[in-house]
Every structure is written in C-alpha cells, then in structure tokens.
Chain A
C-alpha cells in the first residue's frame, strides 16, 4: 500500500458509479463548500462598492440584476447553500452519534428538500426579468 503501484485495468473503472450515499454526501458537501468559499470573494467584491457611495452600490446591484446569467447563478447559489446547510445538519447528527443507521435516508431527504426549495425559488429569482 505504501508504494504507488500500477494496477492496470483495475483502477480504470470510473468508480464514481459505485459510490454509496455516504460517499456522495461527502463529495457534494466538499463541492458545495468550495463553491460557497468562491462565492464569498465575489460577495465581498460587490459589497465593497458600498465603500464608494450608496448610489454606486445600488447601480452595481441593479446592473447585475439585469444580467440573465446572474439570475441563474443566484438560483444555483441558493441550491448549493441549502444543500450545504441541510447536509451540515446531517453531519451534526453523525458527529453526535444520533441515528447513524438512517444517514443515507437523511442524505436523500437533503437532496429532495434542496430540489424542492430550489424549484420554489425560481419565480422569485427569475421573475420580473
């Protein structure tokens, strides 16, 4: 195990198809975590326009809201944040050792809830464009 070792065919199967719920939860949690970190930078950039003056901030935001891509990104951001929060709660229970038998169900529930909230948010984010 300590040496790197070419297993030939054996490492080339695209294991992701064989991941279980817990593994997917981990992958998605990492992914959404990094997306949120990335968003933080753009968030700071936009907010810092307020240091110029109030109207600059307002026009920046209004300008961004005119861009369709931004509207879609907002929906994506909500989805990412909601999943990260819900799975975070699941991990909290895992850390407390509560209900570990149903961790996979909790993951699926988090996915379904994320999807529902995201869909419900579409009129708000994309409406009035």
Chain B
C-alpha cells in the first residue's frame, strides 16, 4: 500500500491528469504517486482474475466532478478480498482523490457503511467473492453526499444523542463502595443491542426514516432499548426513556418493513427491539394501579 507522502512535484498534479495520462511521463520505477499507474499495470497483468469496481464519484468543489457519475476501476482479485480492500487498491493505484471512510477494517469502527450492489453493507465485511460482478459501490442513500462515498452523518448522530445513549440511574446501591450488578438473564436480554457500531446502515435502509426526518430511526431506538431494558436503571429513569421513544416520531413510526434488520452488519434484531419497546410503552401507559 502506498501510504507514503508523495513527492512535491507530483503533489501538484491534478486527479484528471492522472486519468487522462495512463502511461505517464514519469520514470516507471518512480515511487509514491508518480509510479502509481505503472504499479497498477504490473499488478493487473500479474493477477489471475480481475474485477470491475463501479464507484460513485461526486465532489461539489471540483469542476469536473460536480455532476455525479460512476468511475470504473479494474482491480486484481485476490482470495479473501473485501470491498474495502478493492477500494483501497483503486485509491492507491488509480486515483488518490477517491474518498471514503475506513478505519479498523474489521467491522467494529462502523466507518465504512456503503451502498454495495443495492444494499447497505460494511465494505470491510463484504467479500468480493460473494457479490455479483461488476461491483457497484455508492454512498449511503438518504444522506447528503459530502464527497465520493462520504456522507454527512450529522443527522444520524443527532438522532443517536437524542435518546440519551449513556447509562444513568437513580437507583444506586446503598453501600458507598457496593457494586451495581446486573444479572445474567438481563445481560442476555440487552446483549444484541449493545453491539451497535453506529455505522448508520439501518437508518439509510429505512423507508420511513427517509420520509420523516424527525423519526428517531432504528439505531437510536435500539440504543434506547439497550438502556430502557437495563434493570440497573431505576423505574423513573425507565419511564423517562419510554417517554422519549413513544413520542410522535418515536417507535410508532416503525412499520415493520424489516429493512434495518436485514442490513444490520452486527445482526442486531432491530425490528424485534422496536416492537418490544412499543409493547413496553403501551404497558406503561395502560398501568392503572
């Protein structure tokens, strides 16, 4: 991977230059970005199998990229290659301006949720071998594109924050140094909901969230579930949480289309959690004793 800092003179080269000039005027052995095309050519000719990657391109700040379009990159296929690997190859060998978020590469940071072949998936968790080729990669739908595959996550984070996604309790144990324990059964109940990595795939897949901006969305409701179901939070706190999620744009917006459950890369049963909170909300409202 060429992550080293490119030489000064190539730095000024524009992205279109690199594309229009596949052979390049540079010596083939040059390192860094200068030898990018040569290296790509070598690796492509060495590869037994290559795969086409169609990537959504858009950049409001660059003249030639204001109109959204798809670029096709031919990438050598290697066993175990993920979509993220392919994107990294394309960026490092063809176009260093190709922009996408990634960090841990092991499905735990939640940075690289992308719209791959018509479905929200994590780039690092999706095997190229499992997909239909050519592979089409787009930014998450129903979110504003900042550049290429990067979308603005601000709204998603706002919704997450609005359910107070942190532990708070009014039910502390009496002794000063006493531990606050959770029993195993309760831990099991909330186990799946704790796995959320804030990638935003569910929110992007949700038809209702797309039409109703105020809808909390599956991820935020799942977060609310994680704490509302936690027995260590006191009764008043649980009621406070139920008040948040049973508002007009809360759980009742869910129409059980199961899109979120379908796309969640951490296999969280989101619809199930939303439905359970609906029942809890009704139960607490019907309480007449």
Contact = CB atoms under 8 A, between A and B. Distances in A.
Interface string B263-284: 0000001011001101100000
Contacts of B257: 22-23, 25-26
A contact face: mostly helix, strand, loop, or mixed: helix
A5 B118 CA distance: 19
B69 A9 contact: yes
Contacts of A10: 56, 68, 115, 138-139, 141
A18 B258 contact: no
A93 to B, nearest CB: 10
Contact of B67 (A8, A23, A97): A8
Interface residues of B, number: 35
A53 interface: no
Contacts of A100: 261, 269, 271-272, 275
A21 B258 CA distance: 8
Interface residues of A, number: 27
A91 interface: yes
A20 B264 CA distance: 14
A21 B261 CA distance: 12
Interface of B: 56, 58, 67-70, 115, 118-119, 138-139, 141-145, 152, 155-156, 207, 213, 255-259, 261-262, 269, 271-272, 275-276, 278-279
Given A22-B258, A100-B271, A103-B258, 4 more contacts: A8-B69, A20-B259, A22-B259, A95-B275
Q: Closest 10 A-B residue pairs measured CB to CB?
A: A22-B258, A8-B68, A18-B118, A1-B155, A26-B257, A100-B272, A20-B262, A23-B257, A22-B257, A97-B275
5 contacts: A7-B141, A9-B56, A22-B257, A23-B258, A26-B257
